Amino acid sequence: MSRTRPAPRRRPSPPALAAALLAVVLAALVSGCALGSETDKVIGGPASADEPSRVAIPSLGVDSPLIRLGLNDDQTVQSPPPDKGMTAGWFTRGARPGEPGAAVIIGHSTTPEGKAVFRDLHKVSRGTAIDIKRGDGKVLHFSVTGTETVAKKTFPARKVYGATKEKALRLVTCAGDPDATGRPAQNLIVYAALTP
């Protein structure tokens, strides 16, 4: 059986993409959660050979399939649904891992059941290995360059989602004690770069 390849998607210029992503993330911040609202519109993945299919952090015992995340109807960034707490998601409007730009992977740190894929993400440090497996089976190796815990009100959208020439990876999860809405008041961001 022959397979047809999807037409190459047209990518906006880096400044246009950065501006669009920044607008999306700022809209998400206004909604009260930098990770966005929960959704039932998550699409399975990967859709093509060069999209990511799994994330692994061997030192933490993390090995998760990736679901594709986009935007909710209110233009906030999707996060994996609560019943997929042990599954992380790749934000499809950012870079694909291994390409110049910021590839962003989002996962929960807690769920109502307690366990979540990024529950131990706070334990990573500079040099921690993160592996991304693509749809074609190729594994890309990233190394943590730093971490940052921020209040959701001051989420550094440009730094996380903005344009960069680096082949960067960002992991984002919630952190800290619950606020008045019952959601964690902070985000933990892990910054990583592709290793040769």
* Contacts made by residues 107-112, CB under 8 angstroms, sequence distance 24+: 107/64, 107/80, 107/171, 107/172, 107/173, 108/79, 108/80, 108/82, 108/173, 108/174, 109/173, 109/174, 109/175, 109/184, 109/188, 110/85, 110/174, 110/184, 111/82, 111/85, 112/82
In a domain, 8, yes or no: no
In a domain, 11, yes or no: no
Say if CB 194 and CB 167 are below 8 A apart: yes
49-70 tens-digit pLDDT:
999 999 999 999 999 999 999 9
In a domain, 111, yes or no: yes
In a domain, 30, yes or no: no
DSSP 121: G
In a domain, 134, yes or no: yes
In a domain, 20, yes or no: no
Q: CATH code at 79?
A: 2.40.260.10
**Domain interval for residue 149:** 35-194
In a domain, 24, yes or no: no
79-136 tens-digit pLDDT:
998 888 999 999 999 999 999 999 999 999 988 777 899 999 999 999 999 999 999 9
**Predicted TM-score of the model (pTM):** 0.79
Confidence class for position 39, pLDDT limits 50, 70, 90:
very low
Q: Give how many domains the chain has, as a whole number.
A: 1
Residue 37 in this model has a pLDDT that exceeds 90: no
In a domain, 167, yes or no: yes
